[in-house]
Structure 1
Protein backbone atom coordinates (compact mmCIF):
# COMPACT_ATOMS: atom_id res chain seq x y z
CA UNK A 1 0.00 0.00 0.00
CA UNK A 2 1.25 3.46 -0.88
CA UNK A 3 0.63 5.53 2.25
CA UNK A 4 0.44 9.25 1.52
CA UNK A 5 -0.74 10.19 5.03
CA UNK A 6 0.92 8.82 8.16
CA UNK A 7 -0.85 9.25 11.51
CA UNK A 8 1.44 10.54 14.26
CA UNK A 9 0.70 9.79 17.92
CA UNK A 10 2.00 12.20 20.57
CA UNK A 11 3.69 10.27 23.41
CA UNK A 12 4.56 11.61 26.84
CA UNK A 13 8.24 10.69 26.82
CA UNK A 14 7.44 7.00 26.37
CA UNK A 15 7.40 6.43 22.61
CA UNK A 16 9.91 3.57 22.77
CA UNK A 17 7.89 1.85 25.50
CA UNK A 18 4.68 2.38 23.52
CA UNK A 19 6.31 0.95 20.40
CA UNK A 20 7.21 -2.23 22.28
CA UNK A 21 3.67 -2.44 23.65
CA UNK A 22 2.02 -2.11 20.23
CA UNK A 23 4.44 -4.50 18.55
CA UNK A 24 3.29 -7.14 21.06
CA UNK A 25 -0.41 -6.17 21.09
CA UNK A 26 -1.10 -5.82 17.34
CA UNK A 27 -0.82 -8.69 14.82
CA UNK A 28 2.38 -8.81 12.76
CA UNK A 29 3.58 -5.43 14.01
CA UNK A 30 7.13 -4.16 14.46
CA UNK A 31 8.52 -0.98 16.01
CA UNK A 32 11.78 0.63 15.01
CA UNK A 33 13.61 3.66 16.35
CA UNK A 34 13.47 6.02 13.37
CA UNK A 35 15.20 9.12 14.77
CA UNK A 36 16.78 10.57 17.90
CA UNK A 37 16.90 14.09 19.25
CA UNK A 38 20.29 15.73 18.59
CA UNK A 39 22.77 15.74 21.46
CA UNK A 40 22.57 19.54 21.43
CA UNK A 41 19.04 20.91 21.76
CA UNK A 42 17.52 24.15 23.09
CA UNK A 43 17.37 24.48 26.88
CA UNK A 44 13.61 23.85 26.91
CA UNK A 45 14.25 20.42 25.37
CA UNK A 46 17.31 19.57 27.43
CA UNK A 47 15.72 16.45 28.95
CA UNK A 48 15.34 14.93 25.47
CA UNK A 49 18.93 15.38 24.26
CA UNK A 50 20.02 12.16 22.57
CA UNK A 51 16.73 10.46 23.43
CA UNK A 52 14.36 8.76 20.94
CA UNK A 53 12.47 11.30 18.85
CA UNK A 54 10.34 9.14 16.53
CA UNK A 55 9.42 5.47 16.71
CA UNK A 56 8.15 3.94 13.48
CA UNK A 57 5.32 1.43 14.01
CA UNK A 58 4.45 -0.83 11.06
CA UNK A 59 1.33 -3.01 11.17
CA UNK A 60 2.25 -5.60 8.57
CA UNK A 61 -0.62 -8.08 8.50
CA UNK A 62 -0.69 -7.57 4.73
CA UNK A 63 2.00 -6.66 2.18
CA UNK A 64 3.25 -3.07 2.46
CA UNK A 65 2.11 -2.52 6.03
CA UNK A 66 0.40 0.49 7.57
CA UNK A 67 2.70 2.99 9.30
CA UNK A 68 2.01 4.94 12.49
CA UNK A 69 4.67 7.28 13.89
CA UNK A 70 5.08 7.66 17.65
CA UNK A 71 6.48 11.07 18.59
CA UNK A 72 8.47 11.32 21.81
CA UNK A 73 7.53 14.63 23.42
CA UNK A 74 6.04 15.98 26.65
CA UNK A 75 2.63 16.05 28.31
CA UNK A 76 1.30 18.99 26.25
CA UNK A 77 -1.18 16.87 24.29
CA UNK A 78 -2.94 13.55 24.53
CA UNK A 79 -4.80 11.48 21.94
CA UNK A 80 -8.60 11.45 22.06
CA UNK A 81 -11.18 9.14 20.47
CA UNK A 82 -11.88 11.84 17.86
CA UNK A 83 -9.24 10.07 15.78
CA UNK A 84 -9.19 6.31 16.17
CA UNK A 85 -7.86 3.31 14.28
CA UNK A 86 -10.26 0.70 12.95
CA UNK A 87 -8.80 -2.82 12.74
CA UNK A 88 -10.66 -4.99 10.25
CA UNK A 89 -10.30 -8.65 11.17
CA UNK A 90 -11.41 -9.99 7.82
CA UNK A 91 -11.32 -13.82 7.66
CA UNK A 92 -9.69 -13.49 4.22
CA UNK A 93 -6.59 -12.19 6.01
CA UNK A 94 -6.54 -15.42 8.00
CA UNK A 95 -6.79 -17.90 5.10
CA UNK A 96 -10.58 -17.64 5.12
CA UNK A 97 -10.81 -18.93 8.70
CA UNK A 98 -13.44 -16.88 10.58
CA UNK A 99 -12.57 -18.61 13.87
CA UNK A 100 -8.91 -17.63 13.48
CA UNK A 101 -9.89 -14.03 12.70
CA UNK A 102 -12.13 -13.91 15.77
CA UNK A 103 -9.42 -15.40 17.99
CA UNK A 104 -6.88 -12.84 16.72
CA UNK A 105 -9.36 -10.06 17.44
CA UNK A 106 -9.89 -11.36 20.98
CA UNK A 107 -6.14 -11.50 21.64
CA UNK A 108 -5.66 -7.95 20.38
CA UNK A 109 -8.63 -6.71 22.42
CA UNK A 110 -7.24 -8.30 25.59
CA UNK A 111 -3.82 -6.71 25.05
CA UNK A 112 -5.13 -3.22 24.24
CA UNK A 113 -7.64 -3.34 27.10
CA UNK A 114 -5.01 -4.03 29.77
CA UNK A 115 -4.84 -0.78 31.79
CA UNK A 116 -7.15 0.71 29.14
CA UNK A 117 -10.86 1.57 28.97
CA UNK A 118 -13.64 0.04 26.88
CA UNK A 119 -15.59 2.80 25.10
CA UNK A 120 -17.96 0.25 23.50
CA UNK A 121 -17.74 -3.25 25.01
CA UNK A 122 -16.71 -6.20 22.86
CA UNK A 123 -20.05 -7.63 21.77
CA UNK A 124 -22.40 -8.31 18.88
CA UNK A 125 -23.80 -5.22 17.12
CA UNK A 126 -26.09 -4.74 14.11
CA UNK A 127 -23.09 -3.81 11.94
CA UNK A 128 -20.77 -6.59 13.13
CA UNK A 129 -21.08 -9.92 14.96
CA UNK A 130 -17.99 -9.08 17.02
CA UNK A 131 -16.92 -5.47 17.65
CA UNK A 132 -15.48 -3.30 20.39
CA UNK A 133 -13.97 0.18 20.85
CA UNK A 134 -11.15 0.57 23.37
CA UNK A 135 -8.89 3.38 24.54
CA UNK A 136 -5.55 1.89 25.50
CA UNK A 137 -3.14 2.79 28.32
CA UNK A 138 -1.57 5.54 26.17
CA UNK A 139 -4.92 7.14 25.30
CA UNK A 140 -5.00 5.83 21.71
CA UNK A 141 -8.40 4.56 20.55
CA UNK A 142 -8.92 1.39 18.53
CA UNK A 143 -12.05 -0.09 16.98
CA UNK A 144 -11.80 -3.84 16.46
CA UNK A 145 -14.29 -5.41 14.05
CA UNK A 146 -14.87 -8.88 12.68
CA UNK A 147 -15.80 -8.06 9.09
CA UNK A 148 -17.78 -9.88 6.43
CA UNK A 149 -15.44 -11.32 3.76
CA UNK A 150 -18.26 -10.98 1.19
CA UNK A 151 -18.06 -7.18 1.32
CA UNK A 152 -15.70 -4.93 -0.61
CA UNK A 153 -12.12 -5.48 0.56
CA UNK A 154 -10.65 -2.88 2.90
CA UNK A 155 -7.21 -2.56 4.52
CA UNK A 156 -6.58 -3.98 7.97
CA UNK A 157 -6.05 -0.48 9.44
CA UNK A 158 -8.35 2.45 8.64
CA UNK A 159 -8.02 5.85 10.34
CA UNK A 160 -11.38 7.23 11.47
CA UNK A 161 -12.30 10.88 12.07
CA UNK A 162 -15.22 11.60 14.42
CA UNK A 163 -16.77 15.08 14.34
CA UNK A 164 -18.48 16.40 17.47
CA UNK A 165 -18.73 19.52 19.64
CA UNK A 166 -17.86 22.68 17.71
CA UNK A 167 -17.58 20.69 14.45
CA UNK A 168 -20.67 18.56 14.92
CA UNK A 169 -22.28 17.52 11.59
CA UNK A 170 -19.32 18.79 9.55
CA UNK A 171 -17.90 15.39 8.56
CA UNK A 172 -19.18 15.49 4.98
CA UNK A 173 -18.05 19.09 4.43
CA UNK A 174 -14.60 18.35 5.87
CA UNK A 175 -14.04 15.27 3.76
CA UNK A 176 -15.20 17.04 0.60
CA UNK A 177 -12.60 19.69 1.42
CA UNK A 178 -9.80 17.18 2.06
CA UNK A 179 -10.47 15.11 -1.06
CA UNK A 180 -10.47 18.29 -3.17
CA UNK A 181 -6.91 19.03 -1.99
CA UNK A 182 -5.25 15.61 -2.12
CA UNK A 183 -4.24 13.83 -5.31
CA UNK A 184 -6.09 10.62 -6.25
CA UNK A 185 -8.63 11.13 -3.46
CA UNK A 186 -12.36 10.42 -3.56
CA UNK A 187 -15.33 9.86 -1.27
CA UNK A 188 -16.76 6.34 -1.11
CA UNK A 189 -19.85 5.06 0.68
CA UNK A 190 -21.71 7.55 2.87
CA UNK A 191 -24.62 6.48 5.09
CA UNK A 192 -26.63 9.38 6.51
CA UNK A 193 -28.70 9.60 9.66
CA UNK A 194 -32.30 9.48 8.35
CA UNK A 195 -33.48 11.69 11.20
CA UNK A 196 -31.99 13.56 14.14
CA UNK A 197 -30.29 11.05 16.42
CA UNK A 198 -28.92 12.50 19.63
CA UNK A 199 -26.51 15.29 18.68
CA UNK A 200 -26.43 14.25 15.00
CA UNK A 201 -28.81 16.06 12.68
CA UNK A 202 -30.83 14.42 9.92
CA UNK A 203 -28.67 13.94 6.84
CA UNK A 204 -25.37 14.12 8.73
CA UNK A 205 -22.93 11.23 8.44
CA UNK A 206 -23.64 8.05 10.38
CA UNK A 207 -20.77 6.34 8.60
CA UNK A 208 -18.73 7.31 5.57
CA UNK A 209 -15.43 6.53 3.94
CA UNK A 210 -12.93 8.11 1.60
CA UNK A 211 -9.59 7.18 0.18
CA UNK A 212 -6.33 8.83 -0.80
CA UNK A 213 -4.84 6.51 -3.38
CA UNK A 214 -5.31 3.05 -1.91
CA UNK A 215 -5.23 4.34 1.69
CA UNK A 216 -8.71 4.32 3.25
CA UNK A 217 -10.23 6.54 5.95
CA UNK A 218 -13.66 6.63 7.53
CA UNK A 219 -15.62 9.48 9.06
CA UNK A 220 -18.71 10.01 11.18
CA UNK A 221 -20.71 12.67 12.99
CA UNK A 222 -21.10 11.67 16.61
CA UNK A 223 -24.63 11.21 17.92
CA UNK A 224 -23.39 11.63 21.49
CA UNK A 225 -22.06 14.78 23.15
CA UNK A 226 -18.37 14.48 24.06
CA UNK A 227 -16.05 16.54 26.21
CA UNK A 228 -13.12 15.85 23.88
CA UNK A 229 -12.32 16.91 20.34
CA UNK A 230 -9.45 16.87 17.87
CA UNK A 231 -6.03 17.63 19.35
CA UNK A 232 -2.39 17.35 18.22
CA UNK A 233 -2.40 14.11 20.24
CA UNK A 234 -3.00 12.44 16.89
CA UNK A 235 -1.93 14.38 13.81
CA UNK A 236 -1.91 13.52 10.11
CA UNK A 237 1.46 13.77 8.38
CA UNK A 238 1.39 14.36 4.62
CA UNK A 239 4.55 13.48 2.69
CA UNK A 240 5.00 15.97 -0.17
CA UNK A 241 7.05 15.46 -3.32
CA UNK A 242 8.17 19.07 -3.72
CA UNK A 243 7.97 22.56 -2.23
CA UNK A 244 5.05 23.55 -4.47
CA UNK A 245 2.91 20.81 -2.91
CA UNK A 246 3.92 21.89 0.60
CA UNK A 247 3.01 25.50 -0.24
CA UNK A 248 -0.36 24.58 -1.74
CA UNK A 249 -1.49 22.34 1.14
CA UNK A 250 -0.21 24.75 3.79
CA UNK A 251 -2.10 27.66 2.28
CA UNK A 252 -5.33 25.66 1.99
CA UNK A 253 -5.27 23.88 5.35
CA UNK A 254 -3.77 26.25 7.92
CA UNK A 255 -6.49 28.09 9.83
CA UNK A 256 -4.89 28.77 13.25
CA UNK A 257 -1.79 30.96 12.80
CA UNK A 258 -0.64 30.53 16.39
CA UNK A 259 -0.50 26.75 15.90
CA UNK A 260 1.94 26.95 12.99
CA UNK A 261 5.31 25.51 13.98
CA UNK A 262 7.90 23.12 12.51
CA UNK A 263 5.60 22.00 9.70
CA UNK A 264 2.58 21.59 12.01
CA UNK A 265 -0.74 23.34 11.43
CA UNK A 266 -4.35 23.15 12.61
CA UNK A 267 -7.14 23.28 10.05
CA UNK A 268 -10.61 24.86 10.22
CA UNK A 269 -12.04 21.71 11.81
CA UNK A 270 -9.41 21.45 14.54
CA UNK A 271 -7.45 18.58 13.00
CA UNK A 272 -3.66 18.84 13.24
CA UNK A 273 -1.55 18.17 10.16
CA UNK A 274 2.17 17.94 9.49
CA UNK A 275 3.06 19.00 5.96
CA UNK A 276 6.56 17.69 5.33
CA UNK A 277 8.90 16.83 2.43
CA UNK A 278 8.92 13.13 1.57
CA UNK A 279 12.73 13.16 2.01
CA UNK A 280 12.46 14.57 5.55
CA UNK A 281 14.88 11.99 6.94
CA UNK A 282 17.56 13.02 4.48
CA UNK A 283 17.03 16.72 5.20
CA UNK A 284 17.19 16.21 8.96
CA UNK A 285 20.52 14.40 8.62
CA UNK A 286 22.15 17.64 7.47
CA UNK A 287 24.28 19.44 10.10
CA UNK A 288 22.23 22.00 12.02
CA UNK A 289 18.96 20.91 10.38
CA UNK A 290 17.13 20.37 13.65
CA UNK A 291 17.83 23.89 14.89
CA UNK A 292 16.84 25.38 11.54
CA UNK A 293 13.59 23.41 11.57
CA UNK A 294 12.70 24.80 15.01
CA UNK A 295 12.81 28.31 13.54
CA UNK A 296 10.41 27.46 10.71
CA UNK A 297 6.63 27.47 10.57
CA UNK A 298 5.99 26.12 7.08
CA UNK A 299 8.88 23.89 6.11
CA UNK A 300 11.01 25.24 3.29
CA UNK A 301 13.20 22.58 1.69
CA UNK A 302 15.80 25.07 0.48
CA UNK A 303 16.31 26.34 4.03
CA UNK A 304 17.50 23.02 5.42
Structure 2
Protein backbone atom coordinates (compact mmCIF):
# COMPACT_ATOMS: atom_id res chain seq x y z
CA UNK A 1 0.00 0.00 0.00
CA UNK A 2 1.10 3.57 -0.69
CA UNK A 3 2.63 5.84 1.92
CA UNK A 4 -0.14 8.38 1.23
CA UNK A 5 -2.16 9.03 4.36
CA UNK A 6 -5.44 9.89 2.61
CA UNK A 7 -6.66 7.73 -0.28
CA UNK A 8 -9.82 8.20 -2.41
CA UNK A 9 -12.14 5.21 -2.21
CA UNK A 10 -14.69 4.48 -4.96
CA UNK A 11 -17.80 2.32 -4.48
CA UNK A 12 -19.07 0.24 -7.39
CA UNK A 13 -21.80 -2.35 -7.77
CA UNK A 14 -19.70 -4.98 -9.58
CA UNK A 15 -17.45 -3.01 -11.96
CA UNK A 16 -14.48 -2.15 -9.72
CA UNK A 17 -12.00 -4.28 -11.66
CA UNK A 18 -13.16 -3.05 -15.08
CA UNK A 19 -13.07 0.55 -13.89
CA UNK A 20 -9.56 0.17 -12.47
CA UNK A 21 -8.33 -1.29 -15.77
CA UNK A 22 -9.79 1.67 -17.67
CA UNK A 23 -8.53 4.37 -15.33
CA UNK A 24 -4.98 3.03 -15.12
CA UNK A 25 -4.79 2.75 -18.92
CA UNK A 26 -5.33 6.50 -19.32
CA UNK A 27 -2.49 7.97 -17.25
CA UNK A 28 1.17 7.09 -17.91
CA UNK A 29 2.94 5.49 -14.96
CA UNK A 30 -0.27 3.97 -13.58
CA UNK A 31 -1.02 0.41 -12.53
CA UNK A 32 -3.15 -2.04 -10.56
CA UNK A 33 -1.89 -3.47 -7.28
CA UNK A 34 -3.44 -6.02 -4.96
CA UNK A 35 -6.90 -7.40 -5.73
CA UNK A 36 -8.88 -9.12 -2.96
CA UNK A 37 -11.80 -11.34 -3.90
CA UNK A 38 -15.04 -12.43 -2.31
CA UNK A 39 -15.30 -15.91 -0.89
CA UNK A 40 -18.46 -17.57 0.33
CA UNK A 41 -18.72 -15.17 3.28
CA UNK A 42 -18.49 -12.21 0.90
CA UNK A 43 -21.36 -13.61 -1.15
CA UNK A 44 -23.53 -13.50 1.93
CA UNK A 45 -22.47 -9.97 2.91
CA UNK A 46 -22.74 -8.03 -0.34
CA UNK A 47 -24.54 -10.30 -2.79
CA UNK A 48 -21.34 -10.62 -4.85
CA UNK A 49 -20.49 -13.90 -6.53
CA UNK A 50 -17.63 -15.92 -5.14
CA UNK A 51 -14.40 -14.91 -6.88
CA UNK A 52 -15.63 -11.40 -7.78
CA UNK A 53 -13.15 -8.67 -6.92
CA UNK A 54 -13.92 -7.19 -3.51
CA UNK A 55 -11.38 -4.36 -3.57
CA UNK A 56 -8.86 -3.25 -6.16
CA UNK A 57 -5.83 -1.14 -5.30
CA UNK A 58 -4.54 1.08 -8.10
CA UNK A 59 -2.50 4.20 -8.65
CA UNK A 60 -2.86 6.94 -11.25
CA UNK A 61 0.54 8.38 -12.00
CA UNK A 62 1.73 7.34 -8.55
CA UNK A 63 -1.38 8.49 -6.67
CA UNK A 64 -3.33 5.68 -5.00
CA UNK A 65 -7.04 4.95 -5.23
CA UNK A 66 -9.10 1.98 -4.09
CA UNK A 67 -12.19 0.59 -5.84
CA UNK A 68 -14.70 -1.55 -3.95
CA UNK A 69 -17.49 -3.79 -5.23
CA UNK A 70 -20.07 -3.16 -2.53
CA UNK A 71 -23.36 -3.69 -4.35
CA UNK A 72 -25.96 -1.22 -5.68
CA UNK A 73 -26.62 0.62 -2.42
CA UNK A 74 -24.53 3.73 -3.20
CA UNK A 75 -23.77 5.59 -6.42
CA UNK A 76 -21.21 8.37 -6.92
CA UNK A 77 -22.20 11.94 -7.70
CA UNK A 78 -20.33 14.97 -9.09
CA UNK A 79 -20.12 16.38 -5.54
CA UNK A 80 -16.75 14.60 -5.53
CA UNK A 81 -14.81 14.64 -8.79
CA UNK A 82 -11.24 13.83 -9.71
CA UNK A 83 -9.28 16.54 -11.52
CA UNK A 84 -6.79 15.06 -13.99
CA UNK A 85 -4.01 17.34 -15.24
CA UNK A 86 -2.43 16.45 -18.58
CA UNK A 87 0.59 18.08 -20.18
CA UNK A 88 -0.14 16.41 -23.52
CA UNK A 89 -3.24 17.28 -25.55
CA UNK A 90 -3.45 13.94 -27.35
CA UNK A 91 -3.36 12.04 -24.05
CA UNK A 92 -6.07 14.33 -22.63
CA UNK A 93 -8.32 13.84 -25.66
CA UNK A 94 -7.85 10.06 -25.52
CA UNK A 95 -8.77 9.98 -21.82
CA UNK A 96 -11.80 12.21 -22.45
CA UNK A 97 -13.14 9.92 -25.15
CA UNK A 98 -12.52 6.77 -23.10
CA UNK A 99 -14.13 8.14 -19.94
CA UNK A 100 -17.00 9.73 -21.81
CA UNK A 101 -18.12 6.55 -23.59
CA UNK A 102 -21.53 5.82 -22.12
CA UNK A 103 -21.20 8.69 -19.66
CA UNK A 104 -22.61 12.19 -19.21
CA UNK A 105 -20.97 15.52 -20.05
CA UNK A 106 -21.30 18.43 -17.61
CA UNK A 107 -18.98 20.86 -19.43
CA UNK A 108 -17.76 20.13 -22.97
CA UNK A 109 -14.07 19.77 -23.73
CA UNK A 110 -13.00 23.16 -25.06
CA UNK A 111 -11.13 26.36 -24.21
CA UNK A 112 -12.10 28.23 -21.04
CA UNK A 113 -10.70 31.30 -19.28
CA UNK A 114 -8.86 29.13 -16.76
CA UNK A 115 -7.47 26.48 -19.12
CA UNK A 116 -6.55 26.11 -22.80
CA UNK A 117 -8.47 22.81 -22.84
CA UNK A 118 -10.84 21.59 -20.13
CA UNK A 119 -13.93 19.42 -19.72
CA UNK A 120 -16.03 17.81 -16.98
CA UNK A 121 -17.94 14.53 -17.27
CA UNK A 122 -19.26 11.47 -15.45
CA UNK A 123 -18.07 8.12 -16.75
CA UNK A 124 -20.35 5.13 -17.44
CA UNK A 125 -20.32 4.16 -13.74
CA UNK A 126 -21.13 7.68 -12.53
CA UNK A 127 -17.62 8.59 -11.32
CA UNK A 128 -17.00 12.27 -12.06
CA UNK A 129 -13.82 13.56 -13.73
CA UNK A 130 -12.49 16.99 -14.65
CA UNK A 131 -9.76 16.97 -17.30
CA UNK A 132 -7.47 19.92 -17.94
CA UNK A 133 -4.44 20.69 -20.08
CA UNK A 134 -1.80 22.37 -17.93
CA UNK A 135 1.24 22.09 -15.70
CA UNK A 136 1.13 19.59 -12.84
CA UNK A 137 3.23 21.98 -10.80
CA UNK A 138 0.01 23.95 -10.32
CA UNK A 139 -1.48 21.01 -8.37
CA UNK A 140 1.55 20.09 -6.30
CA UNK A 141 2.87 17.80 -9.02
CA UNK A 142 -0.22 15.59 -8.81
CA UNK A 143 -1.84 14.15 -11.90
CA UNK A 144 -5.07 13.50 -9.96
CA UNK A 145 -6.57 15.94 -7.46
CA UNK A 146 -9.84 15.30 -5.56
CA UNK A 147 -12.37 18.13 -5.88
CA UNK A 148 -15.24 18.71 -3.39
CA UNK A 149 -18.32 20.62 -4.55
CA UNK A 150 -20.68 22.00 -1.90
CA UNK A 151 -24.20 22.25 -3.32
CA UNK A 152 -27.80 22.64 -2.18
CA UNK A 153 -28.03 23.35 1.55
CA UNK A 154 -24.24 22.99 1.73
CA UNK A 155 -23.56 25.78 -0.79
CA UNK A 156 -21.49 28.44 0.93
CA UNK A 157 -19.84 26.01 3.37
CA UNK A 158 -16.76 25.10 1.35
CA UNK A 159 -14.56 27.55 3.28
CA UNK A 160 -15.72 26.21 6.65
CA UNK A 161 -14.99 22.65 5.52
CA UNK A 162 -11.53 23.57 4.24
CA UNK A 163 -10.79 25.35 7.52
CA UNK A 164 -11.82 22.29 9.55
CA UNK A 165 -9.85 19.83 7.43
CA UNK A 166 -6.66 21.89 7.32
CA UNK A 167 -6.80 22.40 11.11
CA UNK A 168 -7.20 18.64 11.65
CA UNK A 169 -4.58 17.05 9.40
CA UNK A 170 -0.78 17.46 9.52
CA UNK A 171 1.18 19.12 6.71
CA UNK A 172 -1.93 21.07 5.83
CA UNK A 173 -2.74 24.58 4.69
CA UNK A 174 -4.73 26.69 2.26
CA UNK A 175 -2.83 27.48 -0.94
CA UNK A 176 -5.35 29.91 -2.40
CA UNK A 177 -9.03 30.84 -2.66
CA UNK A 178 -10.78 32.39 -5.66
CA UNK A 179 -14.14 33.87 -4.61
CA UNK A 180 -17.44 34.44 -6.36
CA UNK A 181 -18.08 38.13 -7.12
CA UNK A 182 -21.86 37.98 -6.67
CA UNK A 183 -22.67 38.43 -10.35
CA UNK A 184 -24.12 34.93 -10.62
CA UNK A 185 -26.17 32.59 -8.46
CA UNK A 186 -23.49 32.38 -5.76
CA UNK A 187 -23.26 35.11 -3.11
CA UNK A 188 -20.19 37.32 -3.25
CA UNK A 189 -17.35 36.02 -1.14
CA UNK A 190 -18.27 32.34 -1.32
CA UNK A 191 -15.70 29.97 -2.76
CA UNK A 192 -15.47 29.59 -6.51
CA UNK A 193 -12.31 27.52 -6.23
CA UNK A 194 -10.02 26.69 -3.33
CA UNK A 195 -6.82 24.67 -3.35
CA UNK A 196 -5.44 23.27 -0.12
CA UNK A 197 -3.21 20.55 1.28
CA UNK A 198 -3.97 17.76 3.76
CA UNK A 199 -1.12 15.50 4.91
CA UNK A 200 1.00 16.94 2.10
CA UNK A 201 -1.59 16.07 -0.58
CA UNK A 202 -3.42 18.61 -2.76
CA UNK A 203 -7.22 18.90 -2.74
CA UNK A 204 -9.71 21.34 -4.29
CA UNK A 205 -13.10 22.64 -3.17
CA UNK A 206 -15.81 25.03 -4.28
CA UNK A 207 -19.38 26.24 -3.70
CA UNK A 208 -22.21 26.11 -6.22
CA UNK A 209 -25.61 27.66 -5.51
CA UNK A 210 -26.98 26.48 -8.87
CA UNK A 211 -29.87 24.00 -8.79
CA UNK A 212 -28.01 20.70 -8.55
CA UNK A 213 -29.79 17.45 -7.70
CA UNK A 214 -26.80 15.84 -6.00
CA UNK A 215 -24.66 16.03 -2.89
CA UNK A 216 -22.05 13.83 -1.18
CA UNK A 217 -22.67 10.08 -0.94
CA UNK A 218 -20.80 7.12 0.54
CA UNK A 219 -19.79 6.06 -2.99
CA UNK A 220 -16.98 8.61 -2.72
CA UNK A 221 -15.11 8.44 0.57
CA UNK A 222 -11.59 9.06 1.80
CA UNK A 223 -9.53 6.46 3.64
CA UNK A 224 -7.36 7.82 6.44
CA UNK A 225 -4.63 5.39 7.47
CA UNK A 226 -3.76 5.62 11.18
CA UNK A 227 -0.71 4.35 13.04
CA UNK A 228 -2.44 3.42 16.31
CA UNK A 229 -5.69 3.55 18.28
CA UNK A 230 -4.98 7.04 19.59
CA UNK A 231 -4.81 8.39 16.04
CA UNK A 232 -8.02 6.56 15.08
CA UNK A 233 -9.75 8.09 18.10
CA UNK A 234 -8.40 11.55 17.19
CA UNK A 235 -9.79 11.62 13.66
CA UNK A 236 -12.97 9.79 14.55
CA UNK A 237 -14.03 12.20 17.28
CA UNK A 238 -13.08 15.22 15.20
CA UNK A 239 -15.01 14.16 12.09
CA UNK A 240 -17.94 11.94 13.08
CA UNK A 241 -21.23 13.87 13.06
CA UNK A 242 -23.80 11.32 11.85
CA UNK A 243 -23.84 8.39 14.32
CA UNK A 244 -26.26 6.32 12.22
CA UNK A 245 -23.72 6.37 9.35
CA UNK A 246 -20.95 4.81 11.45
CA UNK A 247 -20.02 1.30 10.34
CA UNK A 248 -16.81 -0.66 9.78
CA UNK A 249 -14.67 2.43 10.27
CA UNK A 250 -16.87 4.61 8.05
CA UNK A 251 -18.30 7.93 9.21
CA UNK A 252 -19.87 11.10 7.85
CA UNK A 253 -18.70 14.55 8.86
CA UNK A 254 -20.99 17.54 9.42
CA UNK A 255 -20.94 18.35 5.71
CA UNK A 256 -22.01 14.84 4.73
CA UNK A 257 -18.62 13.83 3.33
CA UNK A 258 -17.70 10.20 4.07
CA UNK A 259 -14.38 9.12 5.60
CA UNK A 260 -12.94 5.75 6.57
CA UNK A 261 -10.70 5.89 9.64
CA UNK A 262 -8.71 2.67 9.68
CA UNK A 263 -5.44 1.21 10.98
CA UNK A 264 -2.60 0.82 8.50
CA UNK A 265 -2.54 -2.95 8.94
CA UNK A 266 -6.29 -3.48 8.44
CA UNK A 267 -5.77 -5.32 5.10
CA UNK A 268 -3.47 -7.79 6.85
CA UNK A 269 -5.97 -8.32 9.66
CA UNK A 270 -8.87 -8.89 7.26
CA UNK A 271 -6.82 -11.39 5.25
CA UNK A 272 -6.77 -13.71 8.29
CA UNK A 273 -8.32 -17.14 7.62
CA UNK A 274 -10.07 -16.86 10.99
CA UNK A 275 -13.73 -16.02 10.13
CA UNK A 276 -14.17 -14.33 13.52
CA UNK A 277 -12.07 -11.41 12.24
CA UNK A 278 -14.51 -10.40 9.49
CA UNK A 279 -17.47 -11.03 11.77
CA UNK A 280 -15.95 -8.73 14.40
CA UNK A 281 -15.06 -6.08 11.83
CA UNK A 282 -18.59 -5.99 10.40
CA UNK A 283 -20.02 -5.41 13.88
CA UNK A 284 -17.91 -2.32 14.55
CA UNK A 285 -18.52 1.38 14.12
CA UNK A 286 -15.21 2.91 15.11
CA UNK A 287 -12.38 0.41 14.64
CA UNK A 288 -10.97 -1.09 17.83
CA UNK A 289 -7.54 -2.44 16.88
CA UNK A 290 -7.06 -4.58 19.99
CA UNK A 291 -10.40 -6.33 19.51
CA UNK A 292 -9.61 -7.16 15.88
CA UNK A 293 -6.16 -8.43 16.79
CA UNK A 294 -7.63 -10.69 19.47
CA UNK A 295 -10.08 -12.09 16.92
CA UNK A 296 -7.22 -12.78 14.51
CA UNK A 297 -5.42 -14.85 17.15
Task: Check 1:241–1:44 CA distance in 2 against 1; reply closer, same or farther (3 A cut).
Answer: closer
Q: How many residues align?
A: 289
The match for 1:55 is 56
| Contact 2:180–2:187, Cα closer than 8 Å, also in 1 | yes
Deviation of 1:127 (Å)? 0.2
Task: Check 1:170–1:295 CA distance in 2 against 1; reply closer, same or farther (3 A cut).
Answer: same
- 1:135 is aligned to 2:142: no
Deviation of 1:212 (Å)? 1.7
Task: Check 1:10–1:299 CA distance in 2 against 1; reply closer, same or farther (3 A cut).
Answer: same
| Contact 2:136–2:143, Cα closer than 8 Å, also in 1 | no
- 1:102 is aligned to 2:89: yes
Aligned partners of 2:138, 2:242: CA distance in 1, in Å?
40
| Structural RMSD (CA) | 1.9
- 1:302 is aligned to 2:290: yes
The match for 2:164 is 177
The match for 2:6 is 5
| Contact 1:209–1:217, Cα closer than 8 Å, also in 2 | yes
The match for 1:75 is 72
Secondary structure of 2:232's counterpart equals helix
| Contact 1:23–1:57, Cα closer than 8 Å, also in 2 | yes
TM superposition score normalised by structure 2: 0.92
Aligned partners of 1:277, 1:40: CA distance in 2, in Å?
22
Aligned partners of 1:129, 1:217: CA distance in 2, in Å?
21
- 1:35 is aligned to 2:36: yes
Secondary structure of 2:117's counterpart equals strand
| Contact 1:80–1:231, Cα closer than 8 Å, also in 2 | yes
Deviation of 1:284 (Å)? 1.3
Deviation of 1:45 (Å)? 3.4
The match for 2:295 is none
The match for 2:182 is 195
Deviation of 1:48 (Å)? 4.1
Cα displacement string for residues 69-107 of structure 1 (whole angstroms, at most 9, x for unaligned residues): 0011111111100000001113xxxxxxxxxx1111111
Aligned partners of 1:264, 1:141: CA distance in 2, in Å?
22
Task: Check 1:47–1:143 CA distance in 2 against 1; reply closer, same or farther (3 A cut).
Answer: closer
| Contact 2:92–2:133, Cα closer than 8 Å, also in 1 | yes
Deviation of 1:40 (Å)? 2.7
Secondary structure of 1:40's counterpart equals helix
Task: Check 1:254–1:125 CA distance in 2 against 1; reply closer, same or farther (3 A cut).
Answer: same
| Unaligned stretches of 5+ residues in structure 1 | 91-100
Deviation of 1:151 (Å)? 5.3
Aligned partners of 2:150, 2:255: CA distance in 1, in Å?
9
Aligned partners of 2:85, 2:42: CA distance in 1, in Å?
41
Aligned pairs for 1:106-121 within 5 A: 106-121=93-108
Which moved further from structure 2: 146-155 or 254-263? Answer: 146-155
Cα displacement string for residues 165-217 of structure 1 (whole angstroms, at most 9, x for unaligned residues): 1211100000101111111211111111122521x211110111111233100
- 1:85 is aligned to 2:82: yes
| Contact 1:38–1:49, Cα closer than 8 Å, also in 2 | yes
Deviation of 1:117 (Å)? 1.4
- 1:232 is aligned to 2:187: no
Aligned partners of 1:10, 1:209: CA distance in 2, in Å?
25
| Unaligned stretches of 5+ residues in structure 2 | 293-297
